[in-house]
């Protein structure tokens, strides 16, 4: 079963927009986490970040910069890995429900995650960068430097929520993060559906409500499909 990955990069330094997006995503997080309870009997919680800038140092993967080169003044500690100093984080991160999460063929547990976490920094080249927060390999020598690395948000989908994900990421780009780039079968796949869509709060809410409904519907139908194979 081949993997189908979706990944995204972008920058949003506007604090109010960051807050608005994260608040907006809470119902989606609640639905996804609730499905874990229904199907697996566990109830993960979304992770909320609200660290002020200057709070911590983090390892930073080159991947968070997308197609841009990492800033020249960023300290390199390994190939493709830098250390960002005096950073904060703001955002939301939660697991994507998939009935295969705990199967031997998939086995991602709660680590297949939708992440909209923003770096907060006084350095303009870092401030507002979208990242995913990962714990480093405890056995890796870089763990002696810092144990957490900021990398590119990514989802492993495989026949599930693929069209929904590109519509969802297109919605985020259109209404919240205009410079968001994402890849799923290609760059900005499916974004053309928003080409004639006005950026109004009513349309934003209406499309989001539809996305929530479609997410729940596909989660239920795909779960039934997986159960039919057992």
Residues in the chain predicted with pLDDT less than 70, given as ranges, are 1-3, 136-146, 230
- Provide the pLDDT for residue 104: 73
Q: In whole angstroms, what is the distance from residue 71 CA to residue 87 CA?
A: 15
Q: Give the up-direction half-sphere exposure of residue 113: CA atoms within 13 A in the CB hemisphere.
A: 22
pLDDT tens track for 151-167: 999 999 988 999 999 99
Q: % helix / strand / coil in the chain, to the nearest 5?
A: 35, 25, 40
What is the per-residue pLDDT for 203?
97
Which residues are within 8 A (CB) of 42 and not within 5 positions of it... i.e. 6 or more apart?
Answer: 36, 110
Residue entry with tokens 């900021």? 150
CA 109 remoteness from chain centre = 16
Between CA 183 and CA 165 the distance in angstroms is 10
Domain boundaries, the chain: 5-228
């Amino acid at each position: 079963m081949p993997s189908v990955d979706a990944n995204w990069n972008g920058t949003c330094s506007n604090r109010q927009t960051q807050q608005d997006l994260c608040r907006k995503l809470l119902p989606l997080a609640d639905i996804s986490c609730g499905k874990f309870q229904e199907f697996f009997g566990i109830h993960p919680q979304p992770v909320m970040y609200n660290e002020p800038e200057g709070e911590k140092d983090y390892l930073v993967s080159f991947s968070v910069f997308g197609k841009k080169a990492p800033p020249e003044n960023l300290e390199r500690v390994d190939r493709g890995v830098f250390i960002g100093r005096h950073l904060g984080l703001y955002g939301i991160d939660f697991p994507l429900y998939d009935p295969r999460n705990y199967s031997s063929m998939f086995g991602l547990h709660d680590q297949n995650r939708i992440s909209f976490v923003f770096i907060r920094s006084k350095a303009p080249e870092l401030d507002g960068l979208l990242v995913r927060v990962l714990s480093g390999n405890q056995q890796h020598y870089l763990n002696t430097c810092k144990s957490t690395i900021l990398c590119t948000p990514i989802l492993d989908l495989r026949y599930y929520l693929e069209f929904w994900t590109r519509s969802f990421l297109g919605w985020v780009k259109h209404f919240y993060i205009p410079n968001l780039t994402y890849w799923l079968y290609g760059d900005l796949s499916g974004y053309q559906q928003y080409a004639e869509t006005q950026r109004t709060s009513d349309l934003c809410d209406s499309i989001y409500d539809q996305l929530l409904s479609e997410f729940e519907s596909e989660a239920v139908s795909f779960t039934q499909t997986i159960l039919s194979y057992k």
